[in-house]
């Protein structure tokens, strides 16, 4: 009996580790695929740098979230075990609302003054579109919310389903970036990132509701 339990525990741990690795791989794809594909396919050697500077809007908050992400999983797992499902759901909802509010504020700010601020910050003579910058900010919000829902899924033993959602979203984003759907590669990156993270957020929300 003990050997069987040990085997199941080892198998569960290995499955969890594989799922977490898949999530990490997919997240890196969402963050870096746009820059790499533009760099590989664009005739303008400076365009990849412009795409990189735009996606820094998402990268900086995501790195900050990753700094606290390690404590979120044990907190959520402990909360459901000790305080119950209602407290768990309340904590997740509060975190999601804070991140959504932050992303909306950033999107509105970038829509208002984004292009001149970007030109000053990065000293790049680029034609930044207000709408495109706002799309990246909204995508950042979806990405942050997805990170929270992902931690909730891991805390509930839904790592496999969460990994599938991440991999699917990353694969679709990569396919979008490699397709000539939009001639403007900067807009393609901005719209694609927002769309892929929105899809990811919706998929993880569905997993959360089923949990």
Residue pLDDT, tens place only, 64-87? 877 776 666 566 666 665 666 778
Q: Which two tokens stand for residue 173?
A: 């984003």
Residue pLDDT, tens place only, 169-183? 999 999 999 999 999
Q: How far apart are CA 32 and CA 35, in angstroms?
A: 6
Residue pLDDT, tens place only, 27-41? 999 999 999 999 999
Q: How big is the chain by its Cα radius of gyration, in Å?
A: 19
Instruction: Name all contacts of 64-73 with Cβ < 8 Å and 24+ positions apart.
Output: 65/144, 65/147, 66/147, 69/147, 69/151, 72/148, 72/151, 73/151, 73/154, 73/155
pLDDT of residue 77: 64
Q: What is the pTM of this model?
A: 0.88
């Amino acid at each position: 009996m003990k050997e069987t339990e040990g085997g199941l525990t080892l198998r569960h741990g290995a499955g969890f580790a594989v799922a977490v690795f898949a999530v990490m791989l997919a997240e890196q794809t969402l963050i870096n695929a746009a820059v790499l594909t533009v760099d590989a396919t664009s005739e303008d050697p400076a365009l990849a740098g412009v795409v990189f500077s735009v996606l820094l809007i998402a990268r900086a908050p995501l790195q900050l979230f990753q700094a606290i992400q390690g404590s979120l999983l044990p907190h959520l797992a402990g909360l459901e075990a000790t305080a119950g499902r209602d407290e768990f759901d309340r904590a997740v909802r509060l975190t999601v609302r804070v991140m959504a509010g932050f992303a909306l504020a950033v999107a509105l700010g970038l829509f208002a003054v984004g292009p001149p601020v970007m030109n000053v910050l990065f000293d790049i003579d680029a034609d930044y579109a207000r709408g495109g910058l706002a799309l990246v900010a909204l995508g950042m919000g979806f990405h942050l919310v997805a990170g929270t829902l992902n931690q909730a899924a891991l805390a509930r033993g839904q790592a496999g389903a969460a990994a599938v959602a991440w991999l699917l979203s990353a694969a679709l984003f990569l396919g979008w970036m490699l397709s000539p759907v939009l001639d403007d590669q900067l807009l393609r990156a901005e719209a694609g990132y927002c769309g892929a993270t929105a899809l990811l957020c919706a998929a993880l929300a569905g997993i959360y509701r089923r949990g």
